[in-house]
Structure 1
């Protein structure tokens, strides 16, 4: 067991961190194609970040925070860079993680994206899913570096009230980040016990719309929402019953571009550490001067746990 006891401190998802090969090009893409705006300059990272991530000290790292609405992503670029994102990745691989971006008009948003360097995952037009999923309309694609992303449009009365404010921009913010897991219930226990995330809506998604959305034939996937403090964004667990479901390769390094990290702010890092089984791998240090912990969840998804500022 990764976690020794139920319970745990409340926590908030502060950001999702993407590893990119070219910081300037990535920041320009997210600004121009998805309407994110930079927060502060593009600067070399503090040495404590490099140490916490387990990167060799001779490597350098730059980052750029990008904001959309009230949510942020952070772009990490290492020199030398790691391996590129695997070109044969699918939506059911266990390293898959996407950010779901809410849009006001998904047809207009996709039309604009199709003029950029994206690579679609979804087959054809945006897909409107059945009522058991909330009748949301979605479109999945990859950025120029291979990272999967999703556009979401909510019908009236569905989703967070934040996404139904009058006069919304075309690109509104990040609703959730979703990770593929080998066992939804086991992963839910990990996040509930370690961070106090609360289970929300659950569904089993199948049918032609879901297959076209994921680019996987005859797909069937269990979806469970986990709500942290201060959502959105929240976390979604995706348990595919069909598809390749490949595990994260053991030779990946912290600099590889398929490594996406969730930055989680907690009240007490020591309490999180105490909840972990003593044998569970973790690295303690600081992140921008705050007490921090780097670890992986049961399927290898990378987490940065930082004391709330």
Structure 2
């Protein structure tokens, strides 16, 4: 038997980031009013295909798709199942931590606007990364939580940092999504999954620490090794957050399911889903979906299969 070759099996881009929410209407109001997202579509799905995809029996899911700039998020409300809430004592080094980095043209103005909404702040105030940090010196950021406790970040890039698109003249305050950052237990282990198996590329590396990171994360003595990844077609990236101090937090419980509010799905468009699934199975990757699910032409994508990365973050592989 010939051994299959996978050299051309790669993820192309991140299509969207999907957040499981308690109430779509509440989350829709927050993301459109506080962060200027725009409604793209609002659908409700049910049936065996969706149950098989998410490994949750008898699902009925409302999916609200929102756009900010060129990027998409999805709000997923399980209408007939009540999932577990995000632990109220969550910290940035807990391995279920995952945030969306929302790019702004003026972080002080964005911060002032945001404070008129009932947010839970993580950061003390917007923080500026010190100039000694080659990869991110001068970047300004502020972390906070949405109504369900999902972690979010406002981020502003100085002229010598970030993509060109974040520096184009724009009258908008909220510009788009730069990346999703995930807490991990081991950088090399995650690089094998995201780069060797999925085909992402390392864009930058940095070490963030001292008082600035402590104030940004509200985590005493925070020291974090950050590896930024980008897909072949660029777009939204993934940042790996490997906390050195105060060390790794709690792991993602093995019984957390897609209907639980802490679950976030990164949707990765791949060029050959069947071959990639075969490759991941041969490499011992954990699958959530029982099969590659085929969808009708009216759905958001054509095929899907949900897997877990080495730290149990959920990754939805899709064919458009």
With the shorter chain as reference, the TM-score category is over 0.9
1:300 aligns with 2:312: yes
Match of residue 129 from structure 1: 129
SS at structure 2 position matched to 1:201: strand
- Aligned mate of 2:293, from 286, 291, 295: 286
Secondary structure of the residue aligned to 2:249 is coil
1:267 to 267, 271, 284: 271
Q: CA shift at 1:23, angstroms?
A: 0.7
| Uncovered stretches (5+) of structure 1, i.e. residues with no partner | none
Report the alpha carbon displacement of residue 277 of structure 1 after superposing the two structures with TM. Answer: 4.0
d(CA) in 2 for partners of 1:296, 1:5: 23
Between 234-243 and 45-54, the greater mean CA deviation after superposition: 45-54
Distance 2:253 2:73 in 1: 25
In the aligned structure 2, how far is the partner of 1:69 from the partner of 1:183?
33
**Aligned counterpart, 2:18:** 17
Match of residue 73 from structure 2: 73
Cα distance in 1, alignment partners of residues 146 and 179 from structure 2: 17
Question: Could you tell me how far 1:12 is from its partner in structure 2?
Answer: 0.7
SS at match of 2:195: helix
In the alignment, structure 2 segments of 5+ residues that lack a partner are: 297-301
Kindly report the root-mean-square deviation, in angstroms, between the aligned alpha carbons of the 2 structures. Answer: 1.7
Alignment: residue pair count: 302
Query: Match of 1:44?
Result: 44
Distance 1:224 1:168, change over 3 A: farther
2:200 to 190, 197, 202: 197
CA offsets, 1:235-285, max 9 Å, x none? 110000123511011222221000000000011001211221434332223
The answer to whether the 8 Å contact 1:6/1:192 transfers is no
Pairing of 1:84-123 with structure 2 (within 5 A): 84-123=85-124
Distance 2:295 2:148 in 1: 26
**Matched residue of 1:235: which SS?**
strand
* CA deviations over 1:202-231 (Å, ceiling 9, x no partner): 011111011100110111100001110332
User: Runs (4+) of structure 1 moved beyond 6 Å?
Assistant: none
* Cα distance, 1:168–1:195 mapped onto 2, change above 3 Å: farther
Moved more, 272-281 or 110-119: 272-281
Partner Cα separation in structure 1 for residue 69 and residue 183 of structure 2: 26
Measure how far apart 1:119 and its partner are.
Answer: 0.3
Cα distance in 2 for partners of 1:175, 1:153 equals 10
Match of 1:258 in 2: 262
CA contact (8 A) 2:107 2:156 kept: yes
Distance 1:110 1:152 in 2: 10
